[in-house]
């Protein structure tokens, strides 16, 4: 291209700043529009994927597994409570049996324990005439001396 003067050549060679700014603005607007269109399209695809059968099915499976877990927890809790009650009942029965065999319970029925020198005497052959003995009753104690042995 030819220009009649150097100033005219400079005007032809260097673009107008307003034109450049306007061109850049158009490019930015176009890029923004494309970006918004792409975001909107991707949002629609995401919404479609979320409402698809695969996602709903997965959500339904998770909920079903939660219900199964809740049911298993209830069953385990019920079983544990049954075991505790059964063991408590067995423990009460043993406690009752032990109570009837307790020396104090036996003594309550009129029996006593004979001691010689702090040792329990269970056979009269362990005693001799004149031995000092202690007698323990359900309520109280007594001291005595052996007069006769049979």
The predicted-structure confidence for 2-53, as pLDDT tens digits, reads as follows: 888 887 777 777 777 778 788 899 999 999 999 999 999 999 888 887 777 7
The string of pLDDT tens digits covering residues 88-143 is 999 999 998 888 888 888 888 888 899 999 999 989 888 999 999 999 998 999 99
pLDDT computed for residue 9 by the predictor: 79
Instruction: Judge if 52 and 118 occupy the same domain.
Output: no
137 and 70 both lie in a single domain:
no
CA–CA separation, 63 and 69 (whole Å) = 10
Tokens read off for 78: 């019920």
Which pLDDT belongs to residue 61? 83
134 and 72 in a single domain? The answer is no
**Residues 40 and 81 placed together within one structural domain of the fold:** yes
pLDDT computed for residue 19 by the predictor: 80
90 and 19 in one domain? Answer: yes
In order of 48, 63, 71, the CA distances from 60 in angstroms are 17, 5, 17
Q: Enter the pTM of the model.
A: 0.41
Q: Which whole number is the average pLDDT over 77-86?
A: 94
Tally of domains in the chain:
2
d(CA 41, CA 36): 8
Residue 93 belongs to some domain of the structure: yes
Inform me whether the pLDDT recorded for 67 exceeds 80: yes
**Buried/exposed code over 99-137 (b: 16+ C-beta within 10 A; e: otherwise):** eeeeeeeeeeeeeeebeeeeeebeeeeeeeeeeeeeeee
Q: Tell me the H-state helices in the chain.
A: 6-13, 17-50, 53-101, 103-108
91 and 121, same structural domain?
no
Evaluate whether residue 36 is within a structural domain: yes
- Residue 47's domain comprises 14-105
Say if 119 falls within a structural domain: yes
């Amino acid at each position: 291209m030819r220009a009649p003067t150097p100033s005219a050549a400079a005007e032809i060679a260097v673009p107008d700043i307003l034109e450049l700014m306007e061109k850049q603005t158009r490019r930015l607007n176009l890029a923004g529009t494309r970006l918004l269109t792409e975001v909107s399209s991707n949002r629609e695809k995401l919404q479609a994927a979320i409402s698809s059968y695969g996602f709903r099915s997965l959500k339904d499976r998770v909920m079903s597994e939660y219900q199964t877990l809740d049911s298993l927890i209830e069953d385990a809790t019920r079983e544990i409570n049954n075991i505790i009650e059964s063991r408590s009942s067995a423990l009460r029965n043993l406690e009752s049996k032990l109570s009837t065999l307790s020396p104090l319970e036996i003594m309550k029925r009129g029996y006593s324990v004979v001691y010689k020198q702090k040792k329990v005497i269970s056979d009269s052959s362990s005693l001799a005439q004149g031995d000092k003995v202690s007698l323990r009753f359900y309520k109280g104690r007594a001291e005595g001396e052996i007069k006769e042995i049979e």
